[in-house]
């Protein structure tokens, strides 16, 4: 069970879900498709890589019934995602937005810290 009383900082939100940062537990919370997953940053990055490696164009153009969905699971993630093409597109956008915001926050922190020193 995820402790929702913990202070969460919103990283990125889209229509598909949201990504939060929990400083207390040093974790990323992914809220997607009505489910919440608590991930270490390494597992978050592995999940993003796994989703990015799926060829959405090939999936969309394939007539095979098995191409209607994909299964995504990574080490360190408590969920196995069985996603359709629209869900994969939404998750891909959510993870990309969150990754961008994490990188931006890191760069801002470095710049501010460099000026203070």
Sign of CA dihedral 53, 57, 61, 65: positive
User: How far is 19 from 38, CA to CA, in rounded Å?
Assistant: 10
User: Bridge partners of 35?
Assistant: 32
Domain residue ranges of the chain, discontinuous segments joined by +: 9-116
pLDDT the model gives residue 100: 96
pTM score:
0.86
pLDDT, tens digit (0-9, with 9 covering 90-100), for 38-78: 999 999 999 999 999 999 999 999 999 888 999 999 998 88
Reported confidence tier of residue 116, pLDDT bands at 50, 70, 90: low
Tens digits of residue pLDDT in 82-91 = 999 999 999 9
The terminus-to-terminus CA distance of the chain in angstroms comes to 41
The three-class DSSP label of residue 21 is strand
CA angle (59 as vertex; 61, 15 as ends), nearest 5 = 110
pLDDT at residue 117 in the model: 59
Q: How far is CA 117 from CA 48, 62, 71, 94, 103, in A?
A: 34, 56, 47, 35, 21
| pLDDT (0 to 100) of residue 26 | 87
pLDDT at 2 over 80: no
Mean pLDDT of 7-30: 92
**What's the pLDDT score for residue 3?**
52
| Encoded tokens for 8 | 């969460």
């Amino acid at each position: 069970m995820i402790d929702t009383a913990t202070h969460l900082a919103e990283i990125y939100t889209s229509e598909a879900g949201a990504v939060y940062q929990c400083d207390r537990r040093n974790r990323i919370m992914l809220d997607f498709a009505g489910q919440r997953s608590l991930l270490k940053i390494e597992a978050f990055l592995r999940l993003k890589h796994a989703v990015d490696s799926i060829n959405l164009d090939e999936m969309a153009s394939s007539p095979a019934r098995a191409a209607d969905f994909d299964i995504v699971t990574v080490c360190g993630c408590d969920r196995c995602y069985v996603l359709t093409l629209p869900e994969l597109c939404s998750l891909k956008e959510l993870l990309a937005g969150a990754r961008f915001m994490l990188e931006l926050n890191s760069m801002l922190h470095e710049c501010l810290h460099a000026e203070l020193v």
